[in-house]
Structures are given as structure tokens and as C-alpha cells.
């Protein structure tokens, strides 16, 4: 009887790594579990001229889609900032089921404004529904429900 138990146990131990690999693809990322998300590939355009603006000059757009499996690619289009800031900065936090995305500028020293496009990826995120909160400095500018999964690809209009 002992040989059957040992054979069964050894078969299980041989198959265990395969099971972990197959099941591991649906496992949670340790960073996402702990609420640690980050911004990567941050970029922004220079001040747009009139020819580069979207059709509706008073509308900002947030285009978002899944990227790299568990990152959310964000394109915030036609957002107002000072014409001569020192630096555009962004921050992201995960608070339970809310993604809090903050945009700000430092050293705004001119008496004019321009429109810019901001792009970045945030994550890693687990698939699910989130409340996306867009903040400007400490003020909430907009918020909307966002379903994040393997086919996420949508646009949100900010008026």
C-alpha cells in the first residue's frame, strides 16, 4: 500500500508546478493586491495651436484602453494648463475600488493658458469595475465608472 501512496504523491508533486503555471495566469499581482500602482510611460504634447485642437474646443476627452495586460493606458486630450509651467506632474493612487489620477503643474508663471495632451499607463490593475477620479491639484474635476478587462477601449467626455 505504501508504494501506491508514494506513486500518487510523486505524480501530484510533478504536476503541481504545471497547475501553478496554468492557474497563476489568473492570480492577483502582489502590487495590485497591496494597492501599489504606478505611472509609467508618462508623456505630454507641447502647447497646441488652433489647428491641433479637437472639434469641440470646450471639451476634454479621456481615452482609455487596456495595455500590457494589466495596465490602463490613459490619453487625456485638450486639457488646459498654463503656457509656461516648469513641470507637468501626475500621481495615481488606488483607494479600494477607486483610481485617483491627479494632474498638476508647477511654476506657472505666465498670464496665458494652452491645451495639452497627456499620456501614460497606470497599473498594475486587476480586472474589475473602478471609479476613475480625475483631480486637478486637490480639486475633483470629474469621475466616472470604468470597467477594466481584457477588451477595455473607450472614451469619456469631460464638459
Sheet bearing 153-158, strands edge to edge: 38-44, 113-123, 71-82, 60-67, 153-158
Q: Can you name the residues that pair with 15 across neighbouring β-strands? A: none
Is residue 53 in a domain?
A: yes
Number of separate domains in the chain: 1
Q: Is residue 45 in some structural domain?
A: yes
Residue 58 domain-assigned (yes or no): yes
pLDDT for position 109: 80
- Measure the CA–CA gap between 130 and 132, rounded to whole angstroms: 6
The pTM of the full predicted model, rounded to 2 decimals, is: 0.73
Domain range enclosing 114: 28-158
Separation between Cα atoms, residue 118 and residue 106, nearest integer Å: 15
Within-domain flag for 4 = no
Q: Quote the CA–CA distance of 17 and 135 in Å, as a whole number.
A: 44
Q: What is the pLDDT of residue 26?
A: 36
B/e letters for 100-136, b = 16+ CB within 10 Å, e = fewer, are bbbbbbeeeeeeeebbbbbebbbbbbbeeebebbbbe
Q: What residues of the chain score a pLDDT lower than 70?
A: 1-35, 50-57
So what's the pLDDT on residue 35? 56
Residue 100 lies in a domain: yes
Asked whether residue 1 is domain-assigned, the answer is no
Answer yes or no: is 12 within a domain. no
In a domain, 149, yes or no: yes
* Residue 50, pLDDT score: 67
Amino acid at each position: 500500500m505504501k508504494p501506491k501512496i508514494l506513486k500518487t504523491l510523486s505524480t501530484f508533486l510533478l504536476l503541481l508546478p504545471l497547475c501553478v503555471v496554468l492557474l497563476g495566469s489568473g492570480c492577483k499581482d502582489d502590487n495590485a493586491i497591496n494597492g501599489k500602482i504606478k505611472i509609467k510611460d508618462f508623456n505630454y504634447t507641447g502647447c497646441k495651436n488652433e489647428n491641433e485642437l479637437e472639434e469641440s474646443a470646450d471639451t476634454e476627452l479621456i481615452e482609455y484602453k487596456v495595455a500590457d495586460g494589466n495596465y490602463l493606458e490613459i490619453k487625456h486630450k485638450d486639457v488646459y494648463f498654463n503656457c509656461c509651467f516648469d513641470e507637468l506632474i501626475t500621481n495615481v493612487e488606488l483607494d479600494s475600488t477607486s483610481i485617483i489620477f491627479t494632474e498638476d503643474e508647477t511654476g506657472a508663471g505666465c498670464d496665458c493658458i494652452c491645451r495639452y495632451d497627456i499620456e501614460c499607463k497606470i497599473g498594475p490593475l486587476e480586472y474589475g469595475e473602478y471609479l476613475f477620479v480625475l483631480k486637478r491639484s486637490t480639486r475633483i474635476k470629474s469621475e466616472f465608472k470604468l470597467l477594466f478587462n481584457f477588451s477595455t477601449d473607450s472614451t469619456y467626455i469631460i464638459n
